[in-house]
Structure 1
Amino acid sequence: MTIPVFYSITDDFTPYAAVSLSSLAKFVDPKKDYTVTFLHQGLSKAHEESLASYAKDNLHVEFYEMSDALLKPIQDRKENYLRGDFFTMSIFYRLFIPDLFPQYDKAVYIDSDTVVNDDIAKLYETELGDNLIGACVDSSIQFVPEMLRYISEVLTLDPKKYINSGMLVMNAKAFRDEKFVDKFFSLLGRYHFDCIAPDQDYLNEICSGRIKYVDGRWDAMPNENTEPLANPSLIHYNLFFKPWHFTGIQYEDYFWQDAKDTVYEAELKAELAKTTDEDRDIERHKLDHMLGKLDTTLQDPHNWARVKESEQVTL
């Protein structure tokens, strides 16, 4: 049996993904078998080779190019923008894992802006029962009033149960059996919900009531409102707290320690050095762009809340 782990990646994200993969490789159990697959569109051969170099006898590194035909229904529309100002197809790749890899009844997905500090097999072994996913409550939004209001009033979900999609244990068999992708495309094509966090909102809506909540140490995120977790198992540099852009953020030491073991350390340090205070200010204000959708989504006659109320949409 292999433990399948998936990343979604764009070419420019390779240095960060290399740090994540390098960290994951350090903790694999020599008695277990792992396959890491990078979902991408147009990853360069040089970057494939650099990521493949972390393979071991029991850690296989593979690449899967997502087809344009599969992704065609997801368009470059404003409701699908990430962080309020740009569109990236890669955030949707994770939704297709169960259908693309029918050999797996269960899989782990993690974002590329992560570091792993424990054996990922422990996460994979999470007992899901009949839940669709295992995930952690999104700690990055718990002190953002606008996001709490958006989740409560637009999605009509409990913010304390709203999960972050940067780490998922996927019940792949249930996704296939219950035609998750068909539901997603149906909702996407019919309603064009204007989302602050597009793929994440759909996962929260469709999986609501069938989520296994995993210990928050498996999706620890830097923030300015709480103390860091002791011994985090997986750190997710979510939103704008990227150690290659900011200094003095929570968990940054983990990233730079793992970066030392990659060929990208110098490049990453150079990126940090050339990031100006103006650049950092722009990064911080991207959150404002995201939250700028709140007023329009609250008034939208076809937002999640109104559609669920008027049409009794079954998710």
Structure 2
Amino acid sequence: MTIPIFYTISDNYTPYAAVSIKSLIDHANDEKDYTITLLVQEITDEHKKALKDLATKNVHINIFHISDEMVQPIHQGEENYLRGQFFTMSIFYRLFIPELFPQYDKCVYLDADTIINEDIAKLYETDIKDNMFASCPDLSIRYMPLLQEYIKECQGILPPEKYINNGVIVFNMKAFRDKKFVDKFYYLMNKYHFDNVDPDQAYMNEICEDKIYHLDKKWDAMPNESIPEIENPKIVHYNLFFKPWHFKDVQYGNYFWNVAKTTKFYDQLKQELASFTDEDRQRARNDLKLMAEKVKHIEQEPYTWAKVKKIEDVRI
């Protein structure tokens, strides 16, 4: 039996994905078998080779190309902009994993900006009971008042602490298929055109509300300047804007560089850090503020999740 793990990436995210995969391999159990599949639309042959070359005797790596037909119904309008700033189709790929891989009833999904410090088999083996999926509460926004307001007033999820981050997921793939999650997603997206700062994550939180298993926060430790680092995190997730390849002093940054230096992308990543200027860093901080300020605009939309949930059950 193999343990299926999925990443979804755009081509420019290859260096970070390579570091994440290397960290996963470093903690894999030699007596177990793992299959990593990277979902992409476009990727260069050079990057494809670099990722596949990471494979070992018991960690297999495949590249899977998402078809244009599957993602065609997803509007590229502002309501689906990530963080309210730009459109990237790759964030939606994870929603289709259960449909695309019917041979699996369970899997692990990881964002490419993660570092794995524990055997991923232990996460896969978590008993999530009859829930749709398992993830951790989103600690990256816990102390941001406007984003807490977004969860309460726009998403209608109370308390806001139960709102999860979907950068680390244990999928109950059979339940996603049986409950026809993708059909529900397409229906809601095309009927209401919800404006979200986190489109893919919002749909998973809303459609699966109260059918989500909450993992221990050590499985998705995220930089947050308002709280101390979590000791001995099992997975570090460089969520939002503060990436170690852009900020020298980001929380948990040492975990990334300790692995990065063992990959072929180390020099490229160090150069990216050196080239990221103080002006770039200030722009990243401003972007975080702009994302939060979009909440006031979303609250005035005719259809928000909170408003629609008063007239229609959006859940599976």
TM-score by length of 2: 0.98
Aligned residues of 2:138 and 2:163 also touching (Cα < 8 A) = yes
Could you tell me how far 1:286 is from its partner in structure 2?
1.2
Could you tell me how far 1:314 is from its partner in structure 2?
4.5
SS at match of 1:61: strand
Separation in 2, partners of 1:234, 1:105: 23
Aligned residues of 1:134 and 1:170 also touching (Cα < 8 A) = yes
Are residues 238 and 314 of structure 1, via their aligned partners in 2, closer, same or farther at CA, if it must alter by over 3 Å?
Answer: closer
Separation in 2, partners of 1:172, 1:299: 35
Aligned counterpart, 1:10: 10
Separation in 2, partners of 1:53, 1:307: 48
SS at match of 2:311: helix
Could you tell me how far 1:312 is from its partner in structure 2?
4.3
Aligned letter for 2:229? Answer: P
Separation in 1, partners of 2:307, 2:23: 44
Aligned letter for 1:52? Answer: K
Aligned letter for 1:284? Answer: R
Aligned residues of 1:84 and 1:286 also touching (Cα < 8 A) = no
Aligned counterpart, 1:266: 267
Could you tell me how far 1:123 is from its partner in structure 2?
0.4
Are residues 212 and 286 of structure 1, via their aligned partners in 2, closer, same or farther at CA, if it must alter by over 3 Å?
Answer: same
Aligned counterpart, 1:52: 52
RMSD: 0.9
Aligned counterpart, 2:31: 31
Aligned counterpart, 1:141: 141
Aligned residues of 2:137 and 2:217 also touching (Cα < 8 A) = yes
SS at match of 2:196: coil
Alignment of 1:63-74 (within 5 A): 63-74=63-74
1:239 equivalenced with 2:244 (yes/no):
no
5+ residue gaps, structure 2, are: none
Please list the CA deviations of residues 212-253 of structure 1 after superposition, one character each: whole Å capped at 9, or x if unmatched.
Answer: 111111100011011111111100000011000001111111
Aligned residues: 315
Separation in 1, partners of 2:131, 2:4: 18
Aligned residues of 1:220 and 1:235 also touching (Cα < 8 A) = yes
Identity, in percent, stands at: 53
Aligned residues of 2:146 and 2:293 also touching (Cα < 8 A) = no
Could you tell me how far 1:59 is from its partner in structure 2?
0.5
Separation in 2, partners of 1:314, 1:271: 42
SS at match of 1:4: strand
Q: Which runs of 4+ in 1 moved over 6 A?
A: none
Alignment of 1:178-193 (within 5 A): 178-193=179-194
1:87 equivalenced with 2:87 (yes/no):
yes
Separation in 2, partners of 1:58, 1:295: 49
Aligned counterpart, 1:127: 127
Aligned counterpart, 1:97: 97
Aligned residues of 2:223 and 2:252 also touching (Cα < 8 A) = yes
1:294 equivalenced with 2:295 (yes/no):
yes
Separation in 2, partners of 1:249, 1:305: 34
SS at match of 2:169: strand
